[in-house]
Structure 1
Amino acid sequence: MCPLDHMSPDHKNNYKKLLRQYLFVAGTFVAFFLIIDAFAAAKPHTARYFNKIFTDTVPLQDTIPLKTLPLPDTTAQDSSVKDTLPPLQADTTLPADSTVADTVPVKLSRDSLDAPVEYKAKDSIVLMVPDKRFFLYGNANTKYKTVDLTAERMNFTQNTGILEATTAKDTSGNPFGRPVLKDGEQAFDSDTLRYNFNTQKAKIYHTRSQYGEGYIHSEQTKRESDNTIFGFRNGYTTCNLDTPHFQFRARKIKVIPDKLVISGPANLEIEGVPTPLFIPFAIFPITHGQRSGILPPQYAVNAQKGVGLEQGGYYIGLGDYFDLTLRGDVYSYGSWSLTASPTYRKRYKYNGGLNLSFANTRFGDPAVKSEFTRSRDFRITWNHSMDSKARPGVNFGANVNFGTSSYNTYNVFDYYTRVNNNIGSSISFSKTWQGKPYNLSMSLNHQQNLSTGDIMISFPDASFNVNTIYPFQPKELVGTPKWYQKIGVSYSTVLRNSVNFRDTMFLKKEMFDRLQTGMQHTIPVSFSIPIGTFTLSPGLNYSEYWYTRKMFRRWDANKYNPQTDTLGAIDTTYQTGFFAARQASASVSLSTALYGMYTFKKGSKIKAIRHVVRPTVSLSYQPDLASAAYYDLQYSHNPEDITRTSYFSGSIIGVPGEGKAGMVSFGLDNNLEMKVASEKDTSAAKEKKIKLLDGFGINGSYNLMADSFKLSNFSIYARTNLFEKLNISASGTLDPYVVDARGKRLDQYVWEAGKVSLGRLTNANITLSTSFQSNDKKSQEKEKQLEEMQNQDQQSMDAAYQAQQRQLEMMRNNPGEYVDFDIPWRVDLSYSLTYSKSIIPDSGGVVVNFNQYLNFNGDFSLTPKWKVGLTSGYDFINQEIAYTNMYISRDLHCWQMSINLVPFGTFRQFSITISPKSGLLRDLRINRTRQFYDF
């Protein structure tokens, strides 16, 4: 019999004609119906089952119930030819519940299968009865159990149970219709495929299959019944092209489904060219989830530490809820570091991670003590988040960052982390009682200045709050409420414990001697009364302060030395116990909103400008309840230099003000909008609103009961977003009083001195920022991913946030490795200006701080595969360029190359990295880094 590839259409037609004549001569009724049903004409075949008549008689030893096979569906109209081979041939004329005795022979085929085989072809199906073979032409498809095979041509031999699938050739001689075998999640794309239905083994030629993130190209492949794969002359790669850019060439390879890809000796090829890189064996995991293994180190050169290996270690998977990562660095000059990073998680409950880092840094030659230094440092970070669904109303979270002040200097390569002198921590717990108007929160906070070594720790900090309740309001309010029914009362209490110390005092007696404790209670009473377009809001407020320590400061003339600092003559003593201070106030405020509209002439592009003014006036009275908390302090050798100070100065809960106060406070907020004709709007109005100023205003107060300096400083502000592109914000402070030649404030207003001004500008700041970029080619896909992330549960969002933070840290360190080639160009600009002017009394000295800074970063694509980026800034005051990072990135399809350069500054760096994009081979990277420090 001719093979399938060489059978011509004429041969097929002649054979079908001879076969029909032969069967007609035989004259059997059954054969006649089978011929009509299976091979008649060139119209779709409608039978669901094809019953094999070429069977042998096999006696059955047990009683077997027979079931009626389903009748053919003669109404089916399909453009394809389709048949099914049944697993068992039976006499369908017997009742469904009949049985066959031991002596009754039933026709069973010796080579019958244990499951039906469904097959179809778009062109035709040819059956060769004597040889028990059939041929399928034109987009053929065969299904057996979980196996789904598609090819342009197939042929099946029933005696051997082997199905062969091949391609066909078009008029140009090019092959098409490659066989594709799918079995569960496994898929094979090949030139020729042979599958044995009996043993469920397969032999595949020139195949390409995917396992996880990797692809295997093999000249020959054997598939065992347990789905194990053996390949001959293979190539492993993560490049998804038919001709990959790189691959590991191995003579033999074995694939254990959903577990491992194992190969013998392999050679790395790039663009089909062998490289000198050989490996004795390779193991590529394709298991989803945890898998313990070695983390390869990266080669680095450091000017101070020498040649080293960084970030090498081991990952240990300890189950679904816990894992551990161990990493270390070692350098030729003797420096080393170790980091342990355990993480934990429980779905719908909590997740978090801990980092414990220890480092030993050596500089210079130990033999020369004057030039040799050593720094032993540590850092502890911990983050924990709790799923809101775990315990409704209860939340616990932690974000801890604590360590020695020199750790970042010697062991962190991220510029932004190095220059940040402040780190902090926060651990918080909160509880809200459902259906109750109160809540509780507790926290531990830590702030540390790495340059000065100052540390502040507050623990425990707690607050208990009762939301506003309306004691005079009935449970069921009917009609308009009375004025007294709007009276609301709330309560809050705050507990503070704080200590400030140097890092050298940690856990020593000096640290605990500096501990401060305080508690504050506040009971506000408020309600509002609408009066036409105005809102009147009276209120009462009572506060009480509790202290555990009282401070006494006095002038000691015996310690005074004119040649030294005057403060050295002030003696300080403390008294512990329970102390209290109180404060009360009554207030009433009135607010409204005024609208103004200016309409332009008809035909003008600008239709109208609207101005909204929101004035607020309030009056408050504060009796003198805290005078006992103050005393007179002589602060110099002159007995007349006396000031009023509190026994509780510097307390963490503050000090109530001394004396009576009758304050008139005022505020004025403005909003300016413009309505213009819109060229894009196709509606009838064809107008759009543009915000000229989101807000601008002024705030201040006047103390009616003060002896002097009754008017407070004025606070001014403005903010807007022009054209939805330019963000502008500005603020400042005006002092309405003049100063004398020595810098002392006089009780005289600036405008009384002949100046047309509200006061002296003591501080101001203005910031501008904008961003421009071209259209994102994949913006819709990214928006879809963002929506999917927002729909995730809280734990998944927290885990994604933590992964994002880790990636952002890596991006800051090597921005060239994380560029977006979908955006051709991007520019971000920001400008800041700050100004402050302070006068030192009794000296006439003026301290002026003026900073002006421009920051810019952006990138652009030289070609679709090349991108250049720059991050830098300019200090106008010092006239110098700020931290600058330049990078060049090249998209190599399955690889990426980046060059990062920090050309000048305290921390200079150069690095070039070539790495695969696949996460599976992320450690297969070529990196050359050089770092320089100027201390």
Structure 2
Amino acid sequence: MHPSYKNNYKKFLRQIYLVFAGILIAVPVIFTSLASPRSSFAVSYNIFADTVPKGPDTTTPALKTPEPAKNDTEAPARIDTLGMTTDSTGVDSLHGPKLSKDSLDAPVAYKAKDSIILVIPDKKFYMYGTANTRYKTMEITAERMTYLQSTGIMEATTALDTAGKPFGRPHFKDGGQEFDSDTLRFAMETKKAKIYNTKSQYGEGYVHSEQTKRLPDNSIFGFKNGYTTCNLDTPHFQFRARKIKVIPDKLVISGPANLEIEGIPTPLFIPFAIFPITQGQRSGILVPGYVVNAQKGMGLENGGYYLGLGEHFDLTMRGDIYSYGSWSLTASPTYRKRYHYNGGMTLSFANTRFGDPSVKSEFSRSRDFRVTWNHSMDSKARPGVNFGANVTFGTASYNTYNVYDYATRVNNTTSSSISFSKTWQGKPFNFTSGLTHSQNLTTRDVQISFPNATFSMNTQYPFQPKELVGKSKWYHKLGIGYTATLANSVSFKDSVFGKAKMWDALQSGMKQNIPISFTIPVFKNFTLSPGISYAEYWYTKKTERRWNPNKRVSVDSLGGLDTIYTQGFFAARQASASISLSTAVYGMYLFPKGSKIKAIRHVMRPTLSISAQPDLASNAYYNLFYNRDSASQRASFFTSSSVGVPSEGRAGSISFGLDNNLEMKVFSKKDTSANKEKKVKILDGFGFNGSYNFLADSFKLSTFSLYARTNLFDKINITASGNIDPYVYNRGKKIDKYVWNTGKFSPGRLSNATIALSTSLTSPDKKAKAKQDQLDNIENAESTDAAFQAQQRQLQAVKRNPGEYVDFDIPWKLDLSYSLTYSNTISADSGGVVKTFTQYLTFSGDFSLTPKWKLGINSGYDFINNQLGYTNMYISRDLHCWQMSINLIPIGTYRQFSITISPKAGILRDLRINRSRTFYDL
């Protein structure tokens, strides 16, 4: 007997009674735990806010903590407040429900991998080995847990391995909140918690706190905190703040904060900080960036406001302002409707000032604008109907003063298109309409076609039976089609946009075409294809140029051409008949056995066609005199028509062509078949085309067009083309005489030729497929919210500024493109031969010096002028959670140097350090 019980017999009997009672209770508990791997229990207790411990309990408990059982099986247990065993619903097995008024309103499920121990006198649960407790939406996982029934406090702690290192950190999860910690104490009834040394994630950011209090509304108060977007346990940088508050799904708010980098405090202090952690669309201020521009001065760029107007619409407004007086404004609304359509528009206005306003001779300004619009429609919204738009329109000098990315600045043309199409399901009819626009920013020429419309009927076979019985007849393949085209087009200088001169140049017309064709196999290996075509042209304007001897062209001369426009309805027609014959000829050269080259195959596809055309369009032409003494030339009243002009005169011509393909079979060890061979293409295609007009008065033979294309080693693409003129020229004038008739062994003069080579070399990327799938998903996904639009803008940003978005998973890559163009023209004035060459090499690529350093360049070289083209070089450094990029444009009209250090996380994108210099050579 213990000495303390020697003189207290009643106390000793009471202790013996408790021991036996514990044994009687433990036996059914053990049997119940063996029968059920997962349990729930209902407990009764009172808990107040004051019962939440103020810190980790490091004192030794009154009773010695039992050691965990030495087994690896889960050991669940469950009791009620009276110590009776219950089922999973908390019902007494003998007397029915036995729940007190202060019980929890939901069951608590718990388990442990090692063991669960209940100490009856202290009303404590001890859980060991990957313990897990769930209550409503709350779930706690830790290596060790202790539950005190009298206070309702669940305490989760780590454990130490044999090396003294902690493991099994408590992990708390409740709704959208999750965090890890060293010690966690949770009040089951009030849902209040006290957490020590915790790390939690909110959106893209992580919060490290020494102490944290969690309230029932899920709001969190932290003490001695660090906020960062670095996902390491020891982050590279963080904002240190003594106190913070987290409002779930809304904000992380802190008091005064100091930026630390690699644990070293920096001089950067902020009086307060607000980090949004909201999901979805939220309105807010867009912080501008500081820049220095040699032409515009110091300035703030891309500052503005984002306005969320619901799931279908939002608006981004940005502005730039500079110390020399230049400014720009941009509004970018976007819209979307899930499973129907999505699109966006950008309206930009800029005012750029040059020189000193007080000196009028040196001061000028440029007012520019640009409008872009894109729209796409989900094909599933209305089957058979599609509408899309991609519009870019603006002043010619907008890119010169307001655009800085390489790709846009070297592009001197812009184009737009708006299209609508409809296909009738189950019927052969199709309809398309739209608008097209092209603009040359150098010459300032603009061409607009609107409205354009085309209605077509697919080829129908009226004599073909629905169910063919026996062999088909030749007339079964007789097909007829129909196409009607309405076109309106105008070409003008951008300075006359909207003025009368632009409308005078407007051309309208309509063309209808009815083709009749069929195909007949002849001589087994030949295909004969006769055809008839009729076309009708309608015009609303006739243009005629007449010689006016009294018109003053210059100070020293009189006489010139007057242009006369006649409005009305005019028609022209054209008909033709043709017949063509085609076949394919195969040739094979076999090599001896043992040779690595097994065979070379040559395929020739000759085509021969004869066409005839009556003269139905003579009323569409007139005699044009350029001066009083010159001979007349035939010109069309509808030369600039949007639907074309039928050719004048009779025609009876024969057209011929020959296409070739050359490939070989070589020995290959990689081939798993018994042949051990693979095909290698030598030339994908090469050949020529030409025609001869029997009914023409002169120049019956056309020029010969040559072409060739191939792909070497599946790496190098090669294309070549050219034209040969077979006629003799005398003093710049073309003579109806062939070159070979002069005694020369030559098919004619090479008037122009082009050869182009391109290749792309890259090192293997193990993540290439996953990245491509991700890009495809972004580009092809349905636009459902503002996040999708943000992804699209991010893709465009990658293309504009490669230095800030590099792929460190690819050690190196190189893209090469070479072109050589030759032109051989004869001057009509002097008769001299003018030969010109254009030779240009474009190259781009990057190289990883180390896994974290990458160098890249985009440039080109002009071999004729011996000078570099527009060049953009960049250096990038991966700083884990930050990125550094240095961009340099060293030569050209626009030169720039910039260095940028910015966090990768979008939430801290405004926390970027940027230093740039911009220079212009005007």
TM-score, length-scaled by structure 1: 0.90
1:725 counterpart (692, 697, 715):
715
Work out the percentage of aligned pairs sharing the same amino acid: 67
1:785 counterpart = 2:774:
yes
1:653 counterpart = 2:643:
yes
CA separation in 2, counterparts of 1:430 and 1:164? 67
1:601 counterpart (575, 578, 592):
592
1:739 counterpart = 2:726:
no
Structure 1 segments unaligned to the other structure (5+ residues): 1-18, 57-76
The secondary structure found in structure 2 opposite 1:131 is coil
The secondary structure found in structure 1 opposite 2:231 is coil
2:541 counterpart (531, 543, 549):
549
Q: Cα distance 1:84–1:747, how it changes in 2: closer, same or farther (>3 A)?
A: farther
Mapped contact 2:487–2:642 kept (Cα < 8 A): yes
Mapped contact 1:634–1:643 kept (Cα < 8 A): yes
CA separation in 2, counterparts of 1:820 and 1:418? 24
- Give how far 1:789 is off: 5.2
1:764 counterpart = 2:776:
no
1:922 counterpart = 2:909:
yes
Mapped contact 1:454–1:502 kept (Cα < 8 A): yes
In structure 2, what is the equivalent of residue 713 of structure 1?
A: 703
Deviates more, 1:260-269 or 1:327-336: 260-269
- Give how far 1:114 is off: 2.1
1:489 counterpart (480, 484, 490):
480
1:464-503 alignment runs, 5 A limit: 464-503=455-494
In structure 2, what is the equivalent of residue 873 of structure 1?
A: 860
Mapped contact 1:45–1:81 kept (Cα < 8 A): no
Q: Cα distance 1:798–1:422, how it changes in 2: closer, same or farther (>3 A)?
A: farther
Q: Give, as a single letter, the amino acid of the residue that structure 1 aligns with 2:413.
A: N
- Give how far 1:793 is off: 4.9
1:534 counterpart = 2:526:
yes
- Give how far 1:415 is off: 3.1
Q: Cα distance 1:189–1:55, how it changes in 2: closer, same or farther (>3 A)?
A: closer
The secondary structure found in structure 2 opposite 1:178 is coil
- Give how far 1:172 is off: 2.4
Q: Give, as a single letter, the amino acid of the residue that structure 1 aligns with 2:453.
A: A
In structure 2, what is the equivalent of residue 314 of structure 1?
A: 305
The secondary structure found in structure 1 opposite 2:77 is strand
The secondary structure found in structure 2 opposite 1:36 is helix
In structure 1, what is the equivalent of residue 687 of structure 2?
A: 697
Q: Give, as a single letter, the amino acid of the residue that structure 1 aligns with 2:348.
A: S
2:887 counterpart (855, 876, 900):
900
Structure 2 segments unaligned to the other structure (5+ residues): 1-11, 47-70
Q: Give, as a single letter, the amino acid of the residue that structure 1 aligns with 2:156.
A: A
Mapped contact 1:422–1:450 kept (Cα < 8 A): yes
CA separation in 1, counterparts of 2:802 and 2:164? 49
1:723-782 C-alpha deviation (Å, 9 max, x unpaired): 100100001111111212x12122221222222222211111011011111111322432
1:88-237 alignment runs, 5 A limit: 107-109=98-100, 112-237=103-228
CA separation in 1, counterparts of 2:116 and 2:213? 28
Q: Cα distance 1:809–1:682, how it changes in 2: closer, same or farther (>3 A)?
A: same
1:21-59 C-alpha deviation (Å, 9 max, x unpaired): 97788666xx65532243589x96757558789999xxx
1:519-576 C-alpha deviation (Å, 9 max, x unpaired): 111110000001111110000001111111122223233448798689x522322221
CA separation in 1, counterparts of 2:220 and 2:109? 25
- Give how far 1:145 is off: 1.8
- Give how far 1:795 is off: 4.5
Q: Give, as a single letter, the amino acid of the residue that structure 2 aligns with 1:145.
A: K
- Give how far 1:786 is off: 5.1
CA separation in 2, counterparts of 1:86 and 1:597? 92
Q: Cα distance 1:145–1:512, how it changes in 2: closer, same or farther (>3 A)?
A: same
1:610 counterpart = 2:624:
no
Mapped contact 2:25–2:84 kept (Cα < 8 A): no
Mapped contact 1:87–1:113 kept (Cα < 8 A): no
Q: Give, as a single letter, the amino acid of the residue that structure 1 aligns with 2:717.
A: N
CA separation in 2, counterparts of 1:23 and 1:97? 29
Q: Cα distance 1:565–1:305, how it changes in 2: closer, same or farther (>3 A)?
A: farther
- Give how far 1:840 is off: 2.4
Deviates more, 1:873-882 or 1:804-813: 804-813
Mapped contact 2:546–2:562 kept (Cα < 8 A): yes
1:330 counterpart = 2:326:
no
1:373-392 alignment runs, 5 A limit: 373-392=364-383
Deviates more, 1:509-518 or 1:411-420: 411-420
TM-score, length-scaled by structure 2: 0.91
Mapped contact 1:764–1:836 kept (Cα < 8 A): yes
Q: Cα distance 1:677–1:85, how it changes in 2: closer, same or farther (>3 A)?
A: farther
The secondary structure found in structure 2 opposite 1:475 is coil
Mapped contact 2:44–2:104 kept (Cα < 8 A): no
Mapped contact 2:42–2:108 kept (Cα < 8 A): no
1:666 counterpart = 2:660:
no
1:629 counterpart (611, 616, 620):
620
Mapped contact 1:726–1:770 kept (Cα < 8 A): yes
The secondary structure found in structure 1 opposite 2:399 is helix
Q: Cα distance 1:632–1:273, how it changes in 2: closer, same or farther (>3 A)?
A: same
CA separation in 1, counterparts of 2:469 and 2:19? 100
1:590-639 C-alpha deviation (Å, 9 max, x unpaired): 00111111110001100111111111000000011111222222223324
Deviates more, 1:491-500 or 1:665-674: 491-500
The secondary structure found in structure 2 opposite 1:203 is strand
In structure 2, what is the equivalent of residue 82 of structure 1?
A: 76
CA separation in 2, counterparts of 1:55 and 1:882? 81
CA separation in 1, counterparts of 2:697 and 2:905? 74
Mapped contact 1:24–1:32 kept (Cα < 8 A): no
Q: Give, as a single letter, the amino acid of the residue that structure 2 aligns with 1:435.
A: G
1:287-298 alignment runs, 5 A limit: 287-298=278-289
The secondary structure found in structure 2 opposite 1:897 is strand
Aligned residues: 885
CA separation in 2, counterparts of 1:164 and 1:824? 49
CA separation in 1, counterparts of 2:151 and 2:252? 31
- Give how far 1:92 is off: 7.3
1:279-313 C-alpha deviation (Å, 9 max, x unpaired): 22211111111111110101111111100000000
The secondary structure found in structure 1 opposite 2:592 is coil
1:299-329 C-alpha deviation (Å, 9 max, x unpaired): 1111111000000000000000000001000
CA separation in 1, counterparts of 2:220 and 2:337? 36
In structure 1, what is the equivalent of residue 60 of structure 2?
A: none
1:853 counterpart = 2:840:
yes
Mapped contact 1:355–1:380 kept (Cα < 8 A): yes
In structure 2, what is the equivalent of residue 684 of structure 1?
A: 674
CA separation in 2, counterparts of 1:96 and 1:230? 36
Q: Give, as a single letter, the amino acid of the residue that structure 2 aligns with 1:632.
A: N
Alpha-carbon RMSD: 2.9
Mapped contact 1:776–1:822 kept (Cα < 8 A): yes
1:776 counterpart = 2:765:
yes
Mapped contact 1:397–1:429 kept (Cα < 8 A): yes
In structure 2, what is the equivalent of residue 581 of structure 1?
A: 572
The secondary structure found in structure 2 opposite 1:510 is helix
1:795-826 C-alpha deviation (Å, 9 max, x unpaired): 479996x7676445433543211111000111
1:376-413 C-alpha deviation (Å, 9 max, x unpaired): 11111111111111111111111111112221111111
- Give how far 1:97 is off: 12
- Give how far 1:197 is off: 1.0
1:235-384 alignment runs, 5 A limit: 235-384=226-375
Q: Give, as a single letter, the amino acid of the residue that structure 2 aligns with 1:375.
A: S
CA separation in 2, counterparts of 1:188 and 1:561? 85
Mapped contact 1:560–1:637 kept (Cα < 8 A): no
Q: Cα distance 1:658–1:274, how it changes in 2: closer, same or farther (>3 A)?
A: same
The secondary structure found in structure 2 opposite 1:126 is strand
CA separation in 2, counterparts of 1:91 and 1:856? 79
1:399 counterpart = 2:393:
no
Q: Give, as a single letter, the amino acid of the residue that structure 1 aligns with 2:686.
A: F
- Give how far 1:201 is off: 1.2
Q: Cα distance 1:96–1:770, how it changes in 2: closer, same or farther (>3 A)?
A: closer
